Structure 1
Amino acid sequence: MRVSTVVVVLVLACWTTVKSDPIGAGLLAAGLLGAPLLGLAALRAFWLFLFGRRFLHGKRSVDDPTLEEKNALLSTVSELDQDGCIRKMLCQLQTKEETSRTLEEKLLAKLFTNSSTENITPYNAAFVYATDIGIKTRNAAVCEKVFNKCSVGDLEMSDLLQKTWGCPSNLSQ
């Protein structure tokens, strides 16, 4: 399946789920969640592309993504994250105790944690940087200060992550 198809299907499914939620619909109407919602849906597509089949079925897929497909998805996420909300969330996730993270937060945090310098690319560098800030400072206030263009709060982003990563299929299956 093509990368663009995966992203479009996930975005539409997740948009519908968030829009049907009264709080999500209000935040969307206020214009606060459009880009973060799309970015998180694209990140979910990236995660599913990298680990989904192995996670859900316990085996490696013959159709593992190519480097170009990975870079295309990360490029899409970067373009959608103009205000740095996803980077802020990645930073803040690293300031939380792992035991207090939701399943979706644990999965998202793993995407960019432990990236060695040879694995850093122009496509993932901003996300690795955000993760590193959270790991090194363990202070959510630092994340707020560094990624201050994002006006969406930590709780709203966490709720949005749960909604977008919980649709259209449950990750814990």
Structure 2
Amino acid sequence: MGRKVLVLNQDYSALGICSVPKAFLLVYLNKAELVAKSQGFVLRTVDDEYPSPTVIRLHRYIHLPYKGVMLNRQNIFKRDGNRCQYCGKHEDLTLDHVLPKSRGGKTNWDNLITACKRCNSQKGDLTPEEAGMKLYQKPFKPSFLVFLRDFSGSVEETWMPFLAKREKMY
């Protein structure tokens, strides 16, 4: 049961992702409603069958003052597809500052990339241009919806109407 469920706020905006058992419990306890169910999967008890949720909507609105993607190692790796942004390898990955910290580079979404240890040490205290190394993609800060849609693993077809909406600008 490694599948995930999209959790929507009361206004149908995407809030996050949870496990199928957690989503089922929210629906069963009447804290959420089933918006979309999985085709071909059901949850069975001794006496009954229940649809397996893919999208649920909370009955109560949850106010989130800031909905962004946390800057951490795992999220940088997800954004970069778990591959070195210089050579494309998937092994021995670490983080690299495009503009080295010793030269004023900041620790933020726009300056951190995934790199293998070999490429990271080869680049050293240089910029990619100075080291003669080309980046696969320019680092960027993903929006919350883009991160859910593109970097959270497999995305159910039933999620797309809710993740295709533009985020509200505050």
- Normalised by the length of structure 1, the TM-score is 0.24
Larger relative contact order, structure 1 or 2 (CA cutoff 8 Å, min sep 6): 1
Asked which structure has the greater CA Rg, the reply is 2
- Normalised by the length of structure 2, the TM-score is 0.24
Bigger fraction of residues in helix: 1
